Structure 1
Amino acid sequence: MPRPTSLPPALVAAVVTVLAAVLAGLVAGVAPLTTPPAAARTAADAPPLSISLDSIYPSTIPRKGPIRVTGSVTNDDDAAWTAVQVYGFIGGAQPGSLTPMRSAGELVAAARTDPAAYVGDRITKPGTYATLDRIEPGQSQQFAITIPRSQLPVTEPGVYWFGVHALGAGPDGRIEGADGRARTFLPLVVGHRKPPVDTALVLPLRKAVSYAPDGSVRGLRNWERTLQPGGRLRSMVDFGAAAGDRPVTWLLDPGLPEVVRSLTAGNPARLAVPPRSGDEDGGASSSASPSASGSPTDPPSEEGAGTGSSTGANSELAAVADAGNAWLDRLHEALDGNQVLALPYGDVDAAAASRYDPELLHEARKRSGDVLSPWGIPMTPGLAAPSGFLPSDTLTAAPKRATVLLSDRELGGPSTPTVAAVAGRKVIAVSQGASSGGPGPGPRRAPIAMRQRILAEAAVRFLDPAANPLVVLLPSDWTPNATTDFFDGLDVPWLRLTSVADISARAATPVSGDGLRYSRHREARELNAPAFTAAGGLVRAGATLQDVLGDQAAVAAAVRDQAMTSVSFGHRDHPHRTRATLEASRSWIEGQLGSIRIDAPPAVTLSSTSGRFAATLSNGLDRAVTVHVQALTGPRVHVEGPRQIPLGPGGSATVLLTASTSAPGVHNITLVVTDSDGTPLGASDRLPIRSAQVSRVIWLIIGTGLALLFLAIALRLVRRVRAARGARGARL
């Protein structure tokens, strides 16, 4: 049978073109009954599926045996996804190669890679991937895959890309490319004959504190959230406690436990704070835990700011007290046996304080002390900014025994020696890359991402002949919401967890201080001078109130602590609010001092060169006070009074003052209530003193007149006596 003759290619092309044009015209006028196949997804499109990695075991590529990966896939689309397959993948430093990354610089570059970029090939052998039948919008489903070692065709030591891809069918059917990704780093280290890499994890505990004008702590709900399980401060403490016997290093603001203790004691206002036994110098080593001994003099103006007396406020206080007590117990457990680096008290912005108020910074270091009370945990001075960057003058002013942590980026980059000498002092370079976490598109600071980045940084150091130790300052705002297997994954033979003190004992490698990368932008981020001026004013006001109250309350120490805490690194974002808060607290203290009043008489007249008059002092505080009265007079008027004037709570007293002057006329004087140093408390009263003394000439005339009068009387008496005798002799 003869074959049909084929149409000429040109004719076929013409027919196809005509049919396409006709169909396009028809389709243009009506909506399609079915959606045509979609084009490949571009890198700019948001992936419809997101993947969270929960565990990778083991945490490094094993010599033999499989790797098990668990996690979840979440449907972020508004339609269901079906037949979702989850594959593992592995890749090298360059796309399409299996050459590993072997330097910290390569890790930095890899972490910045576009989350949608191709970095490795999927492992598609049956049995190595999981299938999720259907995921509804907003729903998450767990997966688990096991990848045999034979499916990881890598043998060269280094760090590899590793992760999972999710591919499925959505409302547009199957689209080319991965519909969801999760990526991390996976090291391969063989030949463990050299010493392991010393690695120190530094766990920061610092938090900005805001105060009401009366000295109570604001934001009780926020404190409850951060202290209870799942909150940032509680999670960091739980994370450190999960290390067990493995050493970690804590970077602690000693003021933070003090604030939490104050919250557990009812969040007292400053006049309700009892005196600290033996705390004349304000050292943390001798300070007792604050406790409530009364209610605030003035209720706070903001909801949830102070102690209050309503049922709602009491329930808030009870909730934050419960969370605070549990946090303190957990903190004690986590700190015990580990190195504790004590920040300047209140986490003072050391960079700004060294510029605007070095004395306050010195007091903050002194206040932190060497022992954390009441637990007796030893501490050593530490200094570190949350960003890891500090100016050179702050380094110069730091005590020699302080452990200073600087970002390796400020010192020159990832290749910087971990133990360096800058401007004659030893500093510890912390890995900025390790603390930044893993690559996208998932959360870069998820526990798995952080752990794998730390392992990767340690691996490239282990493979480097220099074997530079690794110090990681974890982010201050990090919330490690899961600690399961984190530290177990660090138990590899080529990594040794240790303390910063152990690493710091090494010899330092000189690094030029001129090369510190502290930019003007970072300098502009520091707290400004007005904030420190306001802090100084608050400290002085607190010292005055303490002088008036005596030993009844630790007002000066509490106010000084508040001032230090209010100029912390955590207040950098709101310098104007910081200044306003400090000034409001100072005004509150001045209002308390101003309630001690003085009332002078309307006027005083002196009939001689000196005389006494009375003034009345009244105490508007519910505390006993001791004050002084100072008279502001002219150069020829002097007023004296009692050296100390005690006043009971709400009481009053009348004091006698002696005024003296050698100049006649009217003298206006002002009576001012002061402390023992002569600092005015605010209250005063004015009165005129009139000097009505008579001159010496007048006294001479008066005296002469009196003498003549007495002489006349004497003469008259003599004459009368003589006359009487003469009359008697005539009769005889």
Structure 2
Amino acid sequence: MPVRQHQARPPRPRGRAAAALVLALLAPLLLWLSPAPAHAVDEPAETDPLAVSIDELDTVSLDGRTKGRITVRGKVVNTTEDEWNGVRIYPFIGDTPMTTSEELAEAAKMPADALVGERIVAEGAYATVPDLAPGETYSWSLKLPRKLLHVTQAGVYWFGVHALGAPSPTTADGRARTFLPLVKEPNKKAKAQKVSLVMPLRRSVVYNADGSVNYLRGWTRDLSAGGRLFRMLETGTEIPSLTWAIDPALIDAVRNLAEGNPPRDLSPTDGSGEEPEESGSQSASPSVSALLPSAPASADTAAAKTDEETEAAQKAAKVWLGRLEKALAGHNLLALPYADPDLSALATNDPDLLATAREKTAQALTELGIKATSAVAPPTGYLDRAAVNLLEPGSVNLVSDRMFRGSAPVVADLDGHQMIVTSSGAAAGGPGPNDPVDAVSVRQRIVAEAALRRGSGKPLVAVIPDGWHPPQTAASFVTPWEKAPWIASSTLSEAVAGHKPTSVTVDRLRYPRREMKAEVSADRISAAKELIGAGELLQRVLTHNDEVADDVVSEALTTTSYSARKGDTDSAANALDHISSELSSITVSVPPKVILSSMKGGEFQVTLSNELDEPVTVRLDAITDDSLRVATSEPVQLDANSKASFNLAASMHDTGTHTALIVVTDTKGNPLGAHASVPIRPSQVSGVIWWFVGTGCALLFAAIAVRLTRRIMKAKKVRTSTGAM
């Protein structure tokens, strides 16, 4: 097993280290002498009485012109218990441009009430909001003349709106902020900045103990029209040169929902008992028919009644799968390892499980008719050295620029393992108080980072953050992007074309301690491995099912995913208990005791019972000491919910009583869980009886002989006495 080491920063100079040590020793005294802080550290941030959002911004950037208008739309919510009236939404813009990514990162962390720009109060530049009752929401819209934005220097500016109510006409009662770059000379296509967007299609997938998908309400919400996953497809369809990073586990889970979310299927899969299918041709290319699940295997499954929650999820899943083909068509596709497992954790604890995840992805995509390039894209952007060593040749490996000390290259090469470097700033989203990963915040952070790279020759590769909230309408997000002539939407290969991999050494890599602590635990990985073994055991027992082990692999891998770092920790254990219970329902019963007629051998009867609804094939094995031998059985096939009795042969080497543990196993001798113990001894009285019988016979014959002898002797004496007379 590889040795894990925290990749720390380079050692500090001795002078700095000594100073740090002195400060550490004096820290308790300084804290004791320092005055109490004005506010407690854990004091929660105050919520604006008017919660404001920017939902649409019809431009991604400004240019040197002062003509035209900028349209901004959003919502305002009264979060108080009082009615608000006379509310106005005023735009504002900063007066000093930011010119580096570091400045953007610092700006994104600034407090919500920090003064970052002057409010524009010109008549007609603001929006008026009707009276707002407690909890009421209002959608506002304003058109801002470009000439009122007095900015001319290239760079990235603060831009946003303030909500002001009548009680406080000069103090903002609500704020929404984002970034807005000014890019000059936008018509020179030769200087267009290459931007490559990667959108991960992944989500937390958790299975119940019986193999059905958990948390149906969340899935229904995300898959339905207006839901997050639905809007991702709608938006991704329209984004030019988009690259999808697909986790097949997500598609499999949705297909399971579209089938009615059945539990793990133990029914025959080898064609036994099924009607022959009608002949016909099938297309190998991705299609709706390939993505949508096939009809249920049995009439019982089709006729099973489902509750409203399951029906809602099923309906949403079918609609979503129907739109998936259109969303993927014409785009570049990357295939993540199945269930997007924690690469660094698996590389350290079980590299074979990572290989299993890759094989599972290849299998799933082949079944779906989807062609994609193998890839990895850790959500945090970090890989440790062990994970880098397991990167596949020819795969697309996306890592964050935060993984490198100093200036990050476009493409890094570590001992032959190549990695495309993505922008951590673009993935971080926008500033508060809004959600940093809402649609406008993420888009404007990406274009801001791109604007600052313009002219550097370096492309911008941006991975959309997993928590991203897609826009309500794709056009509001994509159209302004397409209208920006200084942005050249590029595929990954186009973006990095002409940039040779830069060789890096291990000491340039960063793998923070927080990443190591956050990894999926070794115990959970071990539980996933054990669950996979239980699935293989279950499949060997089922006479006509050759797919259940593969289904269990899918379930087990989801417990090792990045999303499982803080998720459900018991799903693997629960599934393992469920499968163990099913295997243990194949039981054996034995007599209370067995007395062999002879130590040389004898037989006793046992009964196997199958309480499963499917036929099984098992064996019986015996665990004994050296003095007792019980023959194992041949494989026994039991029909569903049936019993079978047969004899087992036994022999002994002494006259004592010995116990045999009769164990139910698969055909390879692996125990299933059920067992029964039986005491066995030979008939100890049999030898004594024959000794007594033999001795009795001998005495009887001796007595007869004695009596005959006496009679003969007596007869002789009588004749002798008679003759003498």
Q: 2:196–2:242: 8 Å Cα contact kept in structure 1?
A: yes
Equivalent of 2:94 in 91, 94, 99: 91
Q: For the residues of structure 1 that align with 2:178 and 2:361, how far apart are their CA atoms?
A: 40
Q: Tell me how far 1:556 sits from its aligned partner.
A: 1.1
Equivalent of 1:507 in 500, 503, 509: 500
Q: Tell me how far 1:660 sits from its aligned partner.
A: 3.8
Query: Could you tell me which residue of structure 2 aligns to residue 487 of structure 1?
Result: 478
- Structure 1 position 353 matched with structure 2 position 350: no
- Structure 1 position 496 matched with structure 2 position 493: no
Counterparts in 2 of 1:45 and 1:214: CA distance versus 1, 3 Å: closer
Counterparts in 2 of 1:604 and 1:289: CA distance versus 1, 3 Å: farther
Q: 2:584–2:672: 8 Å Cα contact kept in structure 1?
A: yes
Deviations 1:531-590 (A, max 9, x none): 12222221121111111103325221111211111222122114xx52x33222212212
Query: Could you tell me which residue of structure 1 aligns to residue 540 of structure 2?
Result: 547
Q: How does 1:433-512 map to 2 (within 5 A)?
A: 433-463=425-455, 465=456, 467-482=457-472, 483-491=474-482, 492-504=484-496, 506-512=499-505
Counterparts in 2 of 1:397 and 1:288: CA distance versus 1, 3 Å: farther
Amino acid of the residue matched to residue 52 of structure 1?
S
Equivalent of 2:557 in 547, 564, 581: 564
Query: Could you tell me which residue of structure 2 aligns to residue 595 of structure 1?
Result: 585
Q: For the residues of structure 2 that align with 1:479 and 1:411, how far apart are their CA atoms?
A: 28
- Structure 1 position 208 matched with structure 2 position 191: no
Query: Could you tell me which residue of structure 2 aligns to residue 629 of structure 1?
Result: 620
Counterparts in 2 of 1:513 and 1:290: CA distance versus 1, 3 Å: farther
- Structure 1 position 122 matched with structure 2 position 119: yes
SS class of match (2:545): coil
SS class of match (2:197): strand
Q: 1:271–1:553: 8 Å Cα contact kept in structure 2?
A: no
Equivalent of 1:112 in 85, 101, 109: 109
- Structure 1 position 650 matched with structure 2 position 650: no
Counterparts in 2 of 1:126 and 1:291: CA distance versus 1, 3 Å: same
Counterparts in 2 of 1:430 and 1:90: CA distance versus 1, 3 Å: same
Q: Tell me how far 1:678 sits from its aligned partner.
A: 0.8
Q: For the residues of structure 1 that align with 2:376 and 2:140, how far apart are their CA atoms?
A: 44
Counterparts in 2 of 1:130 and 1:261: CA distance versus 1, 3 Å: closer
Q: For the residues of structure 2 that align with 1:347 and 1:485, how far apart are their CA atoms?
A: 30
Identity %: 37
Q: Tell me how far 1:334 sits from its aligned partner.
A: 0.9
Query: Could you tell me which residue of structure 1 aligns to residue 60 of structure 2?
Result: 59
Counterparts in 2 of 1:605 and 1:499: CA distance versus 1, 3 Å: same
- Structure 1 position 187 matched with structure 2 position 198: no
Equivalent of 2:221 in 220, 225, 229: 225
Q: Tell me how far 1:656 sits from its aligned partner.
A: 2.9
Q: Tell me how far 1:499 sits from its aligned partner.
A: 2.4
Q: 1:184–1:452: 8 Å Cα contact kept in structure 2?
A: yes
Q: For the residues of structure 1 that align with 2:308 and 2:139, how far apart are their CA atoms?
A: 39
Q: Tell me how far 1:80 sits from its aligned partner.
A: 4.8
SS class of match (1:367): helix
Q: For the residues of structure 1 that align with 2:215 and 2:192, how far apart are their CA atoms?
A: 46
SS class of match (1:486): helix
Question: How many residues are matched?
Answer: 628
- Structure 1 position 160 matched with structure 2 position 154: no
Q: For the residues of structure 2 that align with 1:296 and 1:359, how far apart are their CA atoms?
A: 38
Q: 1:102–1:460: 8 Å Cα contact kept in structure 2?
A: yes
Q: How does 1:250-289 map to 2 (within 5 A)?
A: 250-272=244-266, 275=269, 289=293
SS class of match (2:231): helix
Counterparts in 2 of 1:368 and 1:359: CA distance versus 1, 3 Å: same
Counterparts in 2 of 1:548 and 1:157: CA distance versus 1, 3 Å: same
Query: Could you tell me which residue of structure 2 aligns to residue 102 of structure 1?
Result: 99
Q: Tell me how far 1:117 sits from its aligned partner.
A: 2.2
Deviations 1:203-236 (A, max 9, x none): 1222222322222222222221221123222222
Q: For the residues of structure 2 that align with 1:127 and 1:342, how far apart are their CA atoms?
A: 50
Q: 2:50–2:78: 8 Å Cα contact kept in structure 1?
A: yes
Q: 1:272–1:293: 8 Å Cα contact kept in structure 2?
A: no
Deviations 1:239-263 (A, max 9, x none): 21232xx121112211111111112
Equivalent of 2:72 in 70, 73, 81: 70
Query: Could you tell me which residue of structure 1 aligns to residue 509 of structure 2?
Result: 516
Give 5+ residue unaligned stretches, structure 2: 1-44, 272-285, 702-725
Amino acid of the residue matched to residue 162 of structure 2?
H
Q: For the residues of structure 2 that align with 1:686 and 1:45, how far apart are their CA atoms?
A: 68
Q: Tell me how far 1:643 sits from its aligned partner.
A: 2.3
Q: Tell me how far 1:670 sits from its aligned partner.
A: 2.1
SS class of match (2:166): strand
Larger gyration radius, structure 1 or structure 2: 1
SS class of match (1:345): coil
Q: For the residues of structure 1 that align with 2:81 and 2:640, how far apart are their CA atoms?
A: 68
Q: For the residues of structure 1 that align with 2:89 and 2:125, how far apart are their CA atoms?
A: 9
Deviations 1:52-92 (A, max 9, x none): 32333333214432232232444445545555444433324
Counterparts in 2 of 1:288 and 1:154: CA distance versus 1, 3 Å: closer
- Structure 1 position 249 matched with structure 2 position 249: no
Q: 2:438–2:468: 8 Å Cα contact kept in structure 1?
A: no
Q: For the residues of structure 2 that align with 1:629 and 1:437, how far apart are their CA atoms?
A: 61
Counterparts in 2 of 1:335 and 1:129: CA distance versus 1, 3 Å: same
Amino acid of the residue matched to residue 206 of structure 1?
R
Equivalent of 1:582 in 563, 572, 583: 572
Amino acid of the residue matched to residue 381 of structure 1?
S
SS class of match (1:199): strand
Query: Could you tell me which residue of structure 2 aligns to residue 640 of structure 1?
Result: 631
Q: Tell me how far 1:272 sits from its aligned partner.
A: 4.2
Amino acid of the residue matched to residue 508 of structure 1?
P
Q: 2:198–2:463: 8 Å Cα contact kept in structure 1?
A: yes
Q: For the residues of structure 1 that align with 2:128 and 2:674, how far apart are their CA atoms?
A: 80
Deviations 1:2-59 (A, max 9, x none): xxxxxxxxxxxxxxxxxxxxxxxxxxxxxxxxxxxxxxxxxx9754444332333333
Q: 2:224–2:320: 8 Å Cα contact kept in structure 1?
A: yes
Q: For the residues of structure 2 that align with 1:237 and 1:198, how far apart are their CA atoms?
A: 23
Counterparts in 2 of 1:140 and 1:534: CA distance versus 1, 3 Å: closer
SS class of match (1:485): helix
Q: For the residues of structure 1 that align with 2:535 and 2:153, how far apart are their CA atoms?
A: 65
Q: For the residues of structure 1 that align with 2:268 and 2:173, how far apart are their CA atoms?
A: 62
Deviations 1:459-511 (A, max 9, x none): 11114x3x211111112122214233211121222212222344355422233
Aligned-residue CA RMSD in angstroms? 3.5
Q: For the residues of structure 1 that align with 2:339 and 2:604, how far apart are their CA atoms?
A: 50
Q: 1:269–1:296: 8 Å Cα contact kept in structure 2?
A: no
Equivalent of 1:399 in 378, 392, 399: 392
SS class of match (1:372): helix
SS class of match (2:91): strand
Query: Could you tell me which residue of structure 2 aligns to residue 372 of structure 1?
Result: 365
Instruction: Using structure 2 for the length normalisation, give the TM-score.
Output: 0.79
SS class of match (2:353): helix
Q: 1:434–1:450: 8 Å Cα contact kept in structure 2?
A: yes
Give 5+ residue unaligned stretches, structure 1: 1-43, 94-99, 278-284, 298-306, 710-732
Q: 1:217–1:263: 8 Å Cα contact kept in structure 2?
A: yes
